[in-house]
Amino acid sequence: MKLASKVKYKWSDTVVMSKRSLVHTSRNFDAFITTLVLPIIMMLLFVYVFGGAIDTGSVEYINYVVPGITLLCIGYTASTTAVSVNNDMTKGIIDRFRSMPIAKSSVLTGHVFASVVRNVLTTTLVVLVAFLMGFQTNATAVEWLLVVGILLLYTLAMTWLSVVFGLLANSAEGAGAFSFFVLFLPYLSSAFVPTETMPSVVRMFAENQPMTPINETIRAFLMDTPVGNNAVIAILWCVSIIFLSYLFALFVYKRKAV
């Protein structure tokens, strides 16, 4: 009973902190819109400006690029968590929470849960826009569920990593630099162009960083093509990032806030 009560206590505090973060999102709606509009603009740019010059074989470029755009969308939205966490750390909010009878970790898990909710909304809207632009998929219901699962794992990975950036940064501007990180990696992957077209050194990096297997797994499920070992590699990358980021975030948070 003690363990059950403790879990219920932490979950209740997490829900409260999540609602708090979502309320802040509604009051800073321009930032939320920005994280939604940027991926859509990137999709329009790549499909209608660069798409005609990029050879993706028998796959239409809109079908090829949508998985990468969803990763960009998740990265942009998750990066706002870094700024939110940093604001709590640098503006005295954490000091107020310390005087309250709440689970200390709920402050971080609340930010993470709210980020997942925001990402579900923004990613869904981006995919709907992709369908309006001509995106087509052969995915079955099971394959769609697998895509959702991979995207949720990726969301958690990027969000917990952004929490670490928010805790380490000395200012909101520094925490916001996380967006450059999540923007940079998808470009150096198979998200927008086949890795075979890249110079050897760049190709080696692109094929051995997490974005490529995650992207290839989503693309394989959506296009109903063989996924190979990409799914296992993608899951291992996401779980490893979540686990290490979670432990490091708690370590830094306890050092700074307790």
The residue extents of the domains of the chain are 35-257
Task: With a cut of 70, say whether residue 30 has pLDDT above it.
Answer: no
**Across 180-204, average pLDDT:** 86
pLDDT tens, position by position, 195-214: 888 899 999 999 999 999 99
Lowest mean pLDDT among 103-107, 243-247, 250-254: 103-107
SS3 27: helix
- For 176, counting Cβ atoms within 10 Å of its Cβ (0-12 exposed, 13-18 middle, 19+ buried), the class is middle
Q: How far apart are CA 91 and CA 170, in angstroms?
A: 11
What is the model's pLDDT at position 41?
85
- The angle at the Cα of 80, spanning 13 to 21, to the nearest 5 degrees, equals 25
**Across 171-199, average pLDDT:** 81
Q: How far apart are CA 240 and CA 235, in angstroms?
A: 8
pTM attached to this predicted model: 0.87
Query: For the chain, where are the E strands, in sequence order?
Result: none
